Amino acid sequence: MTRLLRDTLEDWAGEARVPPGLADRALRRRTWRPYGAAVLVAAMIAAVAVFVTGQREPEPVVRPLNNITLPPRPSPAPTDVRTDVEHSPPAKLIAAGRMAVSAYYVTTLEPVAGGQQRVRRTWSLYDPRTGGYEQTPYAWVDVAPGLQVAAVIEGDLLGRRVGVMDLNTRQMLGWYELEHSVGSVAWSPDGTRILATAYSGYPDLMQGEGDQMAPVMRDSPRIGYYVIDVPGGTADYHELEPLPGFHGDAQITGSNRQDLGWSLDGTLIWSPTTTTPDRLFYTPDGESRDAPEGERYRRGTSLPATSPDGRLVLGRDGMPTRITEVGTGKIVGRQQVLQLHAWADDENVIALGCAGKCENEFNNGLVLVSVDGSRMTQLAANRDSNGGGAWRWVLTPR
């Protein structure tokens, strides 16, 4: 019976014409002004109508956002080498093997009360539409493995809204409203959960000038964390005491920012320290756990130090760097780079290289170096990493 109705509606709708300049007009107006009517009278009538009918403008956030369907990861993932040695920060995607620079940030210092300065990050996100990067207004971003979606924090330095953005369309797939402010987000290795670290105040405060500049020594304002299950549509909060920032006998962090990360297999979370071991593990519910056996990490990150085939492991920072065999500890290669960051494949590593003969270690940039150190490809332009305004990359599996 409704066939006629459906067909008629479909058919009739086809007669609508799309006028030009709709976006321009909307951007100019942004509030309602009816055409061809006295604005005041119309507004009064509209107000009465709202009163009479109870019709109100819908809330801007369309809810519920119980479960976000995440786009699938590309399979097989690309592994080509992509470089941009002309622009700093990069204008084109930087990638090699299984890893890519999915985002980067630039820091600036802002004076605040008490002679202190605040570190502000300006984040840029990989944009598949242009093959480059796009600056964002978000307080923090993290791209999920596969480079299809990003988690973002909306807010000034800290925020209570975490969103999931489709990188390809730049549309928000959904938002999570949180009770506590969060200062960082991190995707689980399988790209389905977001770990958001909560703070009662902004942690990145500095004091002193020039070479003497150092973090303000106080107790870290970290208060806990959320585990957001994106397809499941849940956000569970857990309290977690901060680790001692600067004073203590046990692990100290040397930082008020104590962002949590995921273990390699995504079953545990970790809190960073500057001592050895460089992290403490917890269950996602916040219970202390021993470090998972056999897992080796690139210091300060959630990236594996062990090669994809499990045979080799990245050595410490400092030129020349070393790569050793997991089982025997035997050195299999030395590289003329400052730091080894991530495995591109079983034979090549994304590393921090040094300009020229490394007269100045702060004049450095990303390179791809082979395990034996014989081959090196410049991935990004060298830049002065010491000054303010240097860009800092985030590496993510493609």
Partner 1 sequence: MDAADEQRFREFVDARSPALMRLGFLLTGGDQHAAEDLVQTALAKLAAGWRRVAAPEAYAKQIMYRQQISWWRASTRRGEVVQASPPEREARDAHHQSELRLVLRSALARLTARQRAVLVLRYYEDLPEQEVAQVLGCSIGTVRSTAHRSLARLREIAPELARDLEVTT
User: How many residues are recorded in the chain?
Assistant: 398
Q: What is the smallest separation between the CB atom of 168 and partner 1, expressed in angstroms?
A: 12
Distance of CA 212 to the CA centre of its chain: 29
d(C-alpha 73, C-alpha 91), whole Å: 24
Q: In this chain, which of 159, 174, 224, 315 binds partner 1, going by CB under 8 A?
A: 174
Q: What is the smallest separation between the CB atom of 162 and partner 1, expressed in angstroms?
A: 12
Q: Is the CB of 18 or the CB of 40 nearer to partner 1?
A: 18
Q: Is the CB of 79 or the CB of 130 nearer to partner 1?
A: 130
Q: Is the CB of 166 or the CB of 361 nearer to partner 1?
A: 166
Question: Does 40 interact with partner 1 (rule: CB under 8 A)?
Answer: no
Question: Does 52 interact with partner 1 (rule: CB under 8 A)?
Answer: yes
Q: Which stretch binds partner 1 (CB under 8 A): 47-55, 179-187, 201-209, 362-370?
A: 47-55
3-state secondary structure of 6: helix
117-156: contacts with partner 1 (CB under 8 A): 134-137, 154
d(C-alpha 95, C-alpha 104), whole Å: 13
Q: Is the CB of 51 or the CB of 356 nearer to partner 1?
A: 51
Q: Could you give phi then psi for residue 12, rounded to 5 degrees?
A: -70, -45
Lay out the site mask for partner 1 across 7-26 (x = CB under 8 A, - = otherwise).
xxxxxxxxxxxxx--xx-xx
Question: Does 250 interact with partner 1 (rule: CB under 8 A)?
Answer: no
Q: Could you give phi then psi for residue 114, rounded to 5 degrees?
A: 75, 20
Q: Which stretch binds partner 1 (CB under 8 A): 58-66, 95-103, 302-310, 371-379?
A: 58-66
d(C-alpha 80, C-alpha 98), whole Å: 8
Per the DSSP assignment, residues forming a β-bridge with 314 are 323
d(C-alpha 348, C-alpha 372), whole Å: 9
Q: What is the smallest separation between the CB atom of 47 and partner 1, expressed in angstroms?
A: 9
Q: Which stretch binds partner 1 (CB under 8 A): 69-77, 86-94, 99-107, 170-178?
A: 170-178
Q: Is the CB of 4 or the CB of 113 nearer to partner 1?
A: 4
Per the DSSP assignment, residues forming a β-bridge with 263 are none
Q: In this chain, which of 145, 163, 183, 245 binds partner 1, going by CB under 8 A?
A: 163
Token pair of 276 as six digits? 């050895």
Token pair of 140 as six digits? 């923090």
Token pair of 152 as six digits? 């973002």
Question: Does 285 interact with partner 1 (rule: CB under 8 A)?
Answer: no
Q: What is the smallest separation between the CB atom of 173 and partner 1, expressed in angstroms?
A: 8
Which residue type does 81 have? V
**Which parts of the chain fold into alpha helices (H)?**
3-13, 22-29, 39-53
Question: Does 290 interact with partner 1 (rule: CB under 8 A)?
Answer: no
Lay out the site mask for partner 1 across 65-104 (x = CB under 8 A, - = otherwise).
x---------------------------------------
Q: What is the smallest separation between the CB atom of 166 and partner 1, expressed in angstroms?
A: 11
Q: Is the dihedral of CA 306, 88, 146, 229 positive or negative?
A: positive
d(C-alpha 32, C-alpha 27), whole Å: 11
Cα separation values, 283 from 117, 238, 262, 268, 301, Å: 35, 11, 10, 5, 18
Cα angle 117-150-147, degrees, rounded to a multiple of 5: 125
Q: Is the CB of 172 or the CB of 252 nearer to partner 1?
A: 172
Q: What is the smallest separation between the CB atom of 147 and partner 1, expressed in angstroms?
A: 18
Binding residues for partner 1, per CB under 8 A?
A: 1-19, 22-23, 25-27, 29-32, 34-35, 42, 45-46, 48-50, 52-58, 60-63, 65, 134-137, 154, 163, 170-175
